[in-house]
Amino acid sequence: MSTVKQVKTWFLIHKWTSLICTAFLLMLCLTGLPLIFSEEIEALEGKPPLAPTLPVGTPKAPMERLAQTVRAQFPAKVIRYAYWDEHEPNTMTFTLSDSMTAPADNYKLVILDNRTAHVLEEPKIQEGFMYVMLQLHINMFMGLGGELFLGFMGLLFVVAIGSGLMLYSPIMRRFNFGMIRTERSTRLKWLDLHNLLGVVTVVWATVVGFTGVINTLAEVVQGIWQQGQLAEMIAPYKGAAPLRGKLASLDRVMKVAEQAAPGMEPSFVAYPGTLYSSQHHYAVFMKGTTPLTERLAKPALIDAKTGELTDIRDMPWYVNAVFISQPLHFGDYGGLPLKIIWALFDVITIVILGSGLYLWFARNKAMKAQLSRQQSTAQPSFSR
């Protein structure tokens, strides 16, 4: 294929992949900006810690007592999950639902003081500005279908980045890197700026675009894990009789899990009958203590009747890929400085997307004007 044909091919790929995904990428960039600073925005609200200050050394209440408190206050609901929020010390959060088989969006959160077992708050997280921004960014309020659609848009974005680089390479053989021809037309000036900003942000945009695609596959990956590794771990219980009677206490379950994973700490507990466990097990997901390993989970399955360890394994690579990509997508590894860098690149990407739309409209307008002039010139003139 000749160089001219190659350039035309890359131009068409860049043109159509960009046009198809640009509107959705603009939406993702705009909703992503406040999400980058979600923790800082919550801090600006000045909300005090939920748990009151108690004397140093106040012992923690048994976890089973916390669970019993929740059951007593909400007898019509069942506990599906329990977890710890690192931003709210001395608390434990329970996720309640109408039943174990209820849809994922059927839930209620209850936060307790883990020392006094008193209910501190019943947060309503499915409302407010940040909730709307998050849902638009994740799936546009369209569930799994919306997630997969945005994943496809992200994939087109990555292809547009690659094709843009292929177009920019021959240009740089003839001109200096970063040149902006301000003395020529406005369209040419914006084209140079569009190309320059695209090259400057290419690594960041590729990372954020690719991790975004991975994140949209989280539910698919979860299903693969359930049908694969989790099914292997609970295989010995296939055909076992349903659980009856009193179950092992949450405290015993946690003790067994911590002994099975020394040097790690609990992230959350899935009760028997949930998507992350089985009909016969508690699943305690342990995590590391470093900035990287705290993003990775290691499930320990505990027999819900006997309280004995059934199995504990490292997650497969494809699950860990999702765990790692989620915070990387929002620049959540390096504190506020990295978030600021992420936000700056986000704004630059908005400029790139906007300039790309302008260039497309301007080019179409110029081509129509040229075609009109050619047609006018080609028409025969008659004189008397």
Predicted confidence (pLDDT) at residue 382 exceeds the cutoff of 50: no
Taking a C-beta distance cutoff of 8 angstroms, is the pair 85, 93 a contact?
yes
Residue type, 163: S
Place of tokens 């992200």: 154
For 66-100, what is each residue's pLDDT tens digit? 999 999 999 999 999 999 988 889 999 999 999 99
The pLDDT, as a whole number, for residue 290 is 84
The pLDDT, as a whole number, for residue 383 is 45
Taking a C-beta distance cutoff of 8 angstroms, is the pair 92, 70 a contact?
no
Crossing angle for the helix pair 335-378 and 3-36, nearest 10 degrees? 140
Classify 285 as helix, strand or coil.
strand
Token output for 220:
């698919």
The pLDDT, as a whole number, for residue 117 is 94
Instruction: Give burial (CB, 10 Å; 0-12/13-18/19+) of 303.
Output: buried
For 214-263, what is each residue's pLDDT tens digit? 999 999 999 999 999 999 999 999 888 888 888 999 999 999 999 999 99
The pLDDT, as a whole number, for residue 368 is 76
pLDDT, mean of residues 167-193: 72
Taking a C-beta distance cutoff of 8 angstroms, is the pair 56, 77 a contact?
no
Q: Whole-angstrom Cα distance, residue 218 to residue 148?
A: 10
Q: Where are the beta strands (DSSP E) in 15-100?
A: 78-83, 91-97
For 30-39, what is each residue's pLDDT tens digit? 999 999 998 8
Domain ranges of the chain: 3-42+136-215+334-362, 55-130, 217-329
pLDDT-derived band at 173, boundaries 50, 70, 90: low
* Domain spanning 55-130, CATH class: alpha beta
pTM of the model: 0.84
Q: Whole-angstrom Cα distance, residue 6 to residue 93?
A: 57
Q: Whole-angstrom Cα distance, residue 149 to residue 127?
A: 24
3-state helix, strand, coil in the chain (%, to 5): 55, 10, 30
What proportion of the chain, given as a percentage, has pLDDT over 90? 59
Residue predicted with more confidence, 379 or 135: 135
Q: What is the DSSP letter of 241?
A: P
Minimum mean pLDDT range among 37-51, 114-128, 165-179, 239-253 = 165-179
Give 120's contacts (C-beta < 8 A, 6+ positions apart): 50, 51, 91, 111, 112, 113
For 283-317, what is each residue's pLDDT tens digit? 999 999 887 788 889 999 999 999 999 999 999 99
